[in-house]
Each structure stands twice: as structure tokens, then as C-alpha cells.
Amino acid sequence: MIKFSDLNLNPKVLKAIEEAGYETPTPIQAGAIPPALDGRDVLGIAQTGTGKTAGFVLPMITLLARGRARARMPRSLVLCPTRELAAQVAENFDTYTKHLKLTKALLIGGVSFKEQDTLIDKGVDVLIATPGRLLDHFERGKLILSDVKVMVVDEADRMLDMGFIPDIERIFGLTPFTRQTLFFSATMAPEIERITNTFLSNPARIEVARQASASETIEQGVVMFKGSRKDREASEKRKVLRMLIDAEGDKCTNAIIFCNRKMDVDTVAKSLKKYGYDAAPIHGDLDQSQRTRTLDGFRAGDLRFLVASDVAARGLDVPSVSHVFNFDVPSHAEDYVHRIGRTGRAGRDGKAMMICVPRDEKNFEDIERLIQREIPRLENPLGHIGTEAQGDAPEDTTEKKPTSSRSRSRSRSRKTDDTPKADTTAENTPETQADAAPSQADASPKQADKPAETPKPEAAPAETRAEPSNAPRDNQRNESRQDSSDSKRSSSSRSRGGRDDRGGSRVMGLGDHTPTFIEKSFAERYDG
């Protein structure tokens, strides 16, 4: 059996490996390290959890042991798809370079540019970065890639899924043609094969396992679940998850629960906390410090359940995960292999369970086709879903109540708003406007028929002026009240049938009682 001591590694690197407790390399390490030390390009194809990280870290450290980095010009470059994977690679470098004077810089999002610029300015031997942040530094003129001697692309298939391939191609163009390239991937999609043919020169191909195969040490199972009602499906599905966890009991020491959407990650984590489970979410929208804190707590055993999106499915080395729960069936069959690969690592036993709803059955069939085996069906812990299966239902139903009340209040407000509008339109109908016009036209003929009167003397007694005005004024009040009531009755009768059912002639304008002030000239009104 091959040992690390047989691989021609630097003695100081071997000492660090021994102190870490390793003696025998994994198949991918045994296959990749010798050609990498010879300076050849390497194409490594292996499933998650097989030790790919050490497969390129160990030969890179040995190659970089001699030499010195210059300012802004890193000697080697490692590209990772996620912040977490980049941080894990950095930890590996720290572990295996403890006896060597090699420097590194970690370029990931969520960290200040200033701190990263300071490290780059000093000069680093190893630059570990995500593609986006690396290009940001380059475009700001803070980074020169013309001295890169070794370039590593880790989890290339994940790079493809996340849309990083154009960035990868651009970075390849910025590095020297004479570089050594180490390329690692779990699967070989046609696009990845095109890149390897373009940028790798006669690579040593190491393939240690069938593509996208699940480890034999992982016990798999699936619950075919259908909700009692569409609006209760989500809450009942969360209850199934809790019952699966409870059924495992003490055997479930810790677990990663995978969801397809970030929103579901937060919802499931919140639901588990509500029912007393020690759980925390991790996905791409969380702050980097929070993600790091959550992962550290899970690794240390302080956190029992990690609810994650696929950001944690690739490359994260979390030792001794006892269970993996797929709350959702992954959209891509390859992701299933990477997810369950978080358990059963390094020869340990693991268990992976999945909940499949009817709309995900097609994706489930793709998974079985990929792994070339039938996943055993597990009994639905809810049995026949009835009233007892609604344990988590209030989480969903409470959100719908405000909506209905708002709609009811909105409809009521519409009704109340419409009522006055109807009244005003009835008052302003053409018929009522037509009634108002004759009242003004009626007064002017009466004035025109009357002969113009001579001005009265100024010394006229006051009572002679007052008498004629008092009586008509009272009559005017009574008459106006009668006219207004008559006009209301007539308008209402017109609105109902368009005719006056009471019969008789209607009073037009002021009727026969013309107020005295109307008969006076302007001069008389002024003098009076």
C-alpha cells in the first residue's frame, strides 16, 4: 500500500501530514500527486469527499517551497466557486504549511478590499479566490497574474452551474501560457471537457470512481409524500421532516438539511427552532461573518442541524456528519450525489433521506437513473394524513387572514365611496339643470313688462319703505320652502318615471309673489 512518504513530497510537508494524523493517501491523492510534482497538467475526476483538496495542496506546497513572492504578483492561484470552499482550502494550506514560510491571501466577498490589498501588496505565494472577487482586484489594478506558475480550478462542474465559466476563461487568458494547471471536477459535462481541451496541455487524467456515483457506505431512503391539501402541503412536509429526525433518535448526532430555495432554508430553520430543534440556516444571502460563525459552530458540534442551500453541498469538509436530509428533491441529479456526499465520509457509515412530493417525481426518476439503483421507499411517518397532520398549519394559515380582511375592507370602502357619487350624479342630471334655467328666465320677463318707475323722494317715511318688503319676505320664505320641497318631489318623480304623478301646474321660478327689491331700480336700491 502506498504511503505519503513514497510520494516524494517535501520533508516538512510530510511532517505536517504526520502531525495531522494521515499516513495513507486516498486514490485521487495517490493518482494526482506524482504527475503534479513532475510539472504535468492534471485532470482529476472524483466524487465529493475523496480528498481532492489535499490532492492539489500537497504538491503545490512542495513546488512552492523554494522561491519568493513579489509584490502584487502571486506565484500560484486557486479558484473556488464559493466562499466556504475557498476558506476550506485556506485552512488546508495552514495545516500543511506550518513548517514552511509560505504566505497566502484569501480573496472572497464579504471581506474588506483594504485588508486584502495589504496582503497582496506584501506579496503572496498562494492566492485563493472566488472568480468575481479576483477580477475585481485585477480591474482595480491591484493584482498582476503574469507570474502565476501553478493554477488550480477546484469544483469545475460547480463553476459551470454558477455561471463562472466565462470568468474562468478570462482568468486563464491573464495567466502565462507556461503555467501548470490542475483541474478538478466531480463530473465531466461537455462544456468542462471543452475547457480542458482548450487550456490543458496533455493532462494526466485521474478518474477514481464512476461519475456521479453515491458512496456505498451511505444508507439511502425516500418518503413519497402528498399533502392533504395544497395550502397545507408545506407545513405537513415540515412535520414529516421532524418525524424523520425523531425516528432516528440518538443515532442522528448531527445533520445537514438541504433545501432548493434560500427562502425555504430560512423557513425550515425557523420552523425547527420553533419546535425546539437546534438549527441554523446557511445560504448565499447571509453575511459572510454569520456564515463562518454557523459553519464553525456546526463543525465544533455546538450546532446540531445545519439547514443549507446548495452553497454548502460542494467541497465543504465537515467531518462525521451522521445524516443528510433532502427536504427538496434537487433539480439536477448530480446535486443529489454531492448533497449526500456530506455524510459517510472517510469510510464512515452515513444515512441520507429525502422527501419527494408529486411535482418532483420526474427529478427523482433522473436521480435513480444517474446512480443506477433504486432508492428504497420509506413509510410516510404521517400515515394517512388527517387532522392530526396539521401540527404546523398555523404557520401558513395565519398569513392568509389579513389578505381576506383587507379585501373585505377594500370592497366595503368601494361601496361607501360609490354611494355619494350616485347621489351627486342624480342631482346633476340634465333634468334638474333644465329646471334651474327657467327660474332665472322667468324673472326677467316680469321685469321687462313692468314700466320704469320714477325715483321716490328721499324724505319718504321709513315705514312706507319697510311695509311692502316685510310681507313679501315672509311669503318668500314660505314659498321658497314649498318650492324646494316641490322640486325635490318632482325630481324624485322624474327619476322614477320621468313624469309628475301629482298633476297640476308646477310653480316656475318665484311664482306670483315677486319680492319688492327686484322691482326697484339700482338707484333706488342704492338709496334705500
Question: What is the per-residue DSSP string for 78-119?
Answer: EE-SSHHHHHHHHHHHHHHTTTS---EEEE-TTS-HHHHHHH
Report the CATH superfamily, name and number, of domain 218-400. Answer: P-loop containing nucleotide triphosphate hydrolases (3.40.50.300)
Residue 241 is predicted with a pLDDT of: 96
> Can you tell me which residue has the cell 320664505?
477
> What fold, for 4-207?
Rossmann fold (3.40.50)
C-alpha cell at 274: 420553533
At residue 290, φ and ψ (nearest 5 deg) are: -65, -40
d(CA 503, CA 353): 89
**Contact status, residue 150 vs residue 129, Cβ threshold 8 Å:** no
Residue 277's CB: how many other CB atoms inside 10 A? 18
pLDDT of residue 240: 96
Mean pLDDT by 10 residues, the chain (528 residues): 89 92 89 95 82 91 87 93 89 92 90 88 93 93 93 90 90 94 88 92 84 74 92 94 94 93 93 95 83 87 90 65 94 84 78 94 91 91 55 43 45 46 42 41 42 45 43 48 48 44 53 67 67
Are 225 and 355 contacting, i.e. CB atoms less than 8 angstroms apart? Answer: yes
Beta strands 218-224 and 377-378: pairing type?
parallel
What is the greatest pairwise CA distance in the chain? 142
Q: Which pLDDT belongs to residue 363?
A: 92
Residues 6+ apart with CB under 8 A from 350: 215, 217, 218, 219, 321, 322, 323, 324, 340, 343, 344
* Structural Rg of the chain based on CA atoms: 43
**Entry pTM:** 0.55
Instruction: Supply the DSSP symbol for 225.
Output: -
What is residue 441's predicted lDDT score, i.e. its pLDDT? 40
153 touches 199 (CB < 8 A): no
Asked if 100 and 13 count as a contact pair (C-beta separation under 8 A), the reply is yes
Predicted local confidence at residue 37, as pLDDT: 95
What pLDDT does residue 320 have? 82
- Surface-to-core class of residue 352, CB atoms within 10 Å of its CB (0-12 exposed, 13-18 middle, 19+ buried): buried
Q: What is the four-CA torsion angle of 390, 395, 401, 404, rounded to 10 degrees? A: -90
